[in-house]
Structure 1
Amino acid sequence: MSPAVGVQVPLLPNHKLRSRASLSGAVFNVFTSIIGAKIMSIPATLKVLRVIPVFACVDCDHCLLAGISVEILIVNT
């Protein structure tokens, strides 16, 4: 299909995009990243440590990393 002759169509619109980033969005991104990494690491950790130590480590790490991440986000804004 050939393009129309003499028609100029811009690839990007002329209006400026407004940033819709927010603190709650940043916190949500950090939480989902931490939770996703923990879920992916559970099978290998279960193989090495067995059940009870794994869940204790996951809970401690998750709480610690989430608390530190939120503190960093709040202090830097």
Structure 2
Amino acid sequence: MKILYFAWLRERLGRDFDVVSPPTSVTTIADLIDWLSGEDEGFALATTNRALIHAAIDDELVDHATPLGGATTVALFPPMTGG
């Protein structure tokens, strides 16, 4: 699974993406964020306020309770602004 990072999340992590193979116990976006936090201290620090982290699975906006299913790409990003 490819995890894409955008905006200040990308800047804080110092990378655009990760390629990961989460364990089968990781079934939702929330689980994925928890697992990534346990694997990477920098990720844990960058995502301390989980309410600010939005997600998309395979280009579809989802909430943290959404099952990952067979997701190939998960995007994590801060709130979007209009213009």
Which structure: greater helix fraction? 1
Same fold (TM over 0.5): no
Higher CA-based Rg = 1
TM-score (norm 1): 0.25
Which structure: greater strand fraction? 2
TM-score (norm 2): 0.24
